[in-house]
Structure 1
């Protein structure tokens, strides 16, 4: 489907420069710099497919400029001791590590705020449940089997009904914290839709292509769970089980299908990825997907979040944050929500049929996308690769703290679920 990519000579690559004060300068250019939007070989591509040079890359994507945002990345030192110039490569490493460190610290603070809010709201709900049990002390409540509702059952019922409100309140507190820290970035039109001419136009066929990728990821995980279950090693997902049990209220549906996806996209594909973007699109997409996966504190859900995060990141990078939000909402609210619940209404047979249908559609979609756009994906990764040593910034203090804390929580949760 994609048209041939115009080839550029090394001389043409060498003539393309970074926009002033937007990207760190390198002492030795090992890779071609980002082509500028004025480069005709990239701005005059066709519109044959969503991935590759004739999709977003063909419309100026590799060199799409982005105006500097407040707090995007730390300023580089301009001079060393006694006014001597600083080596550009060292200055870039300094800016890179400082940006990654601050970004990881911000995400860790955001996660801490959400957990603290959840504990506070949970304590309030617990007090309300206790008061309700005391008020009904001595009274009997009929259960479904005609027995008596115990205090534990009553408390569990109250917590289940209030879980959605607790989740909504916690995530909104986290969003307010992020808005306070990055309001100058978030409260701009460019943050949501991009600078005019910066992103490619989303078309229905392209959106369906990205949705097929997300369904394909889910299909692969379903297949993996079936294989492990056949081997006697069921892959338990505490997060998914908890969401399934509590998705019985309007507030929980609102959290899962709308508010949660919007806030997650704003934080991970909006703030985080945008701050890392000056150091390479590949690096920004992969790093945000990794932190998004660890944020879930669940092995199975984390793998799904990482792979989907790569798709969401590409969509946000090349088509704007609005479209990654739309894709995330459709996946949570429709694919994993409405359609899944509809299938579940037919009992175990409906669940099995829906899982089988997802696998067929998803795996078929993955094969079709790879056959039609695999070359474009490889070319995109080649053009947007980062300077050597960029991923060493993952060794910064706050990034390692984020990885270690969430990694330990994830492993403990997974081990407890497997043993239990």
Structure 2
């Protein structure tokens, strides 16, 4: 291959990456626009109902779990449109249907245990980083207020957080994104889709968990199918909701014991599994190398850079001085 051909191929690859970057950017802009329009609509309705309503009363209405749930459902559905345009028929005939192996109940259980272990260890990692932020007079705890809104037990919020949200996120990140990148190698596709999945959360406490879980789900999607990752994502979100709600019914000490038990057991199982399968893991990594220069092409694509900066701005903006 001569130099001109190499440059032409490189240009085509970067064009493809920029197309993906544009799709993600449109997805995030549409989601934010949907939230703004929905909030404006609710505000208008409330003002018509009560012209003397105060700003405080309006904020209480907009913070309502039912409205938040409906708003989240609308936003996540709208955000999926750019990916349907981006992948077209490939989404239905390839992204969703590709299946390398049938998964068993054992695969499902072990996958869930691994997710719990990754989730738990990265929660500890985030807490350690929070301590580091505190040492320099900063805190990211304001981000937890946004997460609390997702834990309200209203029907729309349950539908969003436990069913629709996980399904659409899997359609996007283990479907459209991962499948479109897989031609550059499984390892590249898994890591990049996981990174974009973590950044998408725009939240200091979720970005690390998103990347970690994204890697596990990405691997399972490539080796099995997106059906498995959808089920696991739904189960994970339901378990998070159950654990979150259970804290109000048990003492703080009991809650700590439950969490530490889950962390300990899941991590022990994960470590044993890694040690027993280290040769298989090494073999898989060696068999799925990434083509030379592809990482540089991806991270120097203009619209990919814009997406990363856009998401990092959301993460950084949640870090504030300790009051």
Taking structure 2 as the reference length, the TM-score comes to 0.88
Q: Select 1:255's aligned residue among 160, 173, 186.
A: 160
Rounded to whole Å, the distance in 2 between the matches of 1:306 and 1:354 is: 25
Q: Which residue of 1 is the match for residue 303 of structure 2?
A: 398
Q: Which residue of 1 is the match for residue 102 of structure 2?
A: 201
Do the aligned partners of 1:100 and 1:396 also contact (CA within 8 Å) in 2? yes
Q: Which residue of 2 is the match for residue 355 of structure 1?
A: 259
Do the aligned partners of 2:174 and 2:193 also contact (CA within 8 Å) in 1? yes
Do the aligned partners of 1:101 and 1:396 also contact (CA within 8 Å) in 2? yes
Q: 1:407 to 1:225 in 2, by over 3 A?
A: closer
Cα deviation, residue 229, structure 1: 6.5
Do the aligned partners of 1:344 and 1:350 also contact (CA within 8 Å) in 2? no
Instruction: Please list, as runs of the form range in 1=range in 2, the aligned pairs for 1:3-402 lying within 5 A after superposition.
Output: 27=1, 89-134=6-51, 152=56, 155-161=59-65, 162-188=67-93, 190-194=94-98, 198-225=99-126, 227=128, 236=140, 238-246=142-150, 247-333=152-238, 335-393=239-297, 394-402=299-307
Q: 1:371 to 1:345 in 2, by over 3 A?
A: same
Deviations 1:137-189 (A, max 9, x none): 6xxxxxxxxxxxx862564145323111111111111123432443312233x
Q: 1:236 to 1:363 in 2, by over 3 A?
A: farther
Cα deviation, residue 289, structure 1: 1.0
Rounded to whole Å, the distance in 2 between the matches of 1:272 and 1:212 is: 25
Taking structure 1 as the reference length, the TM-score comes to 0.69
Q: 1:117 to 1:351 in 2, by over 3 A?
A: same
Q: Which of 388-397 and 208-217 deviates more? A: 208-217
Do the aligned partners of 1:103 and 1:272 also contact (CA within 8 Å) in 2? yes
Cα deviation, residue 300, structure 1: 2.0
Rounded to whole Å, the distance in 2 between the matches of 1:278 and 1:347 is: 51
Do the aligned partners of 2:139 and 2:322 also contact (CA within 8 Å) in 1? no
Q: 1:326 to 1:237 in 2, by over 3 A?
A: farther
Secondary structure of the corresponding residue to residue 193 of structure 1:
coil
Rounded to whole Å, the distance in 1 between the matches of 2:33 and 2:207 is: 22
Please tell me whether Structure 1 or Structure 2 has the larger radius of gyration of its CA atoms.
1
Root-mean-square deviation (CA, aligned residues, Å) is 2.6
Rounded to whole Å, the distance in 2 between the matches of 1:241 and 1:363 is: 28
Rounded to whole Å, the distance in 2 between the matches of 1:215 and 1:124 is: 39
Q: Which residue of 2 is the match for residue 419 of structure 1?
A: 322
Corresponding residue pairs, total: 317
Do the aligned partners of 1:225 and 1:235 also contact (CA within 8 Å) in 2? no
Do the aligned partners of 1:277 and 1:284 also contact (CA within 8 Å) in 2? yes
Do the aligned partners of 1:118 and 1:167 also contact (CA within 8 Å) in 2? yes
Do the aligned partners of 2:100 and 2:224 also contact (CA within 8 Å) in 1? yes
Deviations 1:35-80 (A, max 9, x none): xxxxxxxxxxxxxxxxxxxxxxxxxxxxxxxxxxxxxxxxxxxxxx
Secondary structure of the corresponding residue to residue 290 of structure 2:
coil
Q: 1:387 to 1:326 in 2, by over 3 A?
A: same
Do the aligned partners of 1:121 and 1:166 also contact (CA within 8 Å) in 2? yes
Q: 1:227 to 1:180 in 2, by over 3 A?
A: closer
- From the two aligned structures, give the one with the greater helix fraction: 2
Secondary structure of the corresponding residue to residue 277 of structure 2:
helix
Do the aligned partners of 2:23 and 2:82 also contact (CA within 8 Å) in 1? no
Cα deviation, residue 114, structure 1: 0.7
Do the aligned partners of 1:129 and 1:155 also contact (CA within 8 Å) in 2? no
Do the aligned partners of 2:198 and 2:206 also contact (CA within 8 Å) in 1? yes
Secondary structure of the corresponding residue to residue 64 of structure 2:
helix
Higher relative contact order (CA 8 A, sep 6+): 2
Rounded to whole Å, the distance in 2 between the matches of 1:151 and 1:100 is: 44
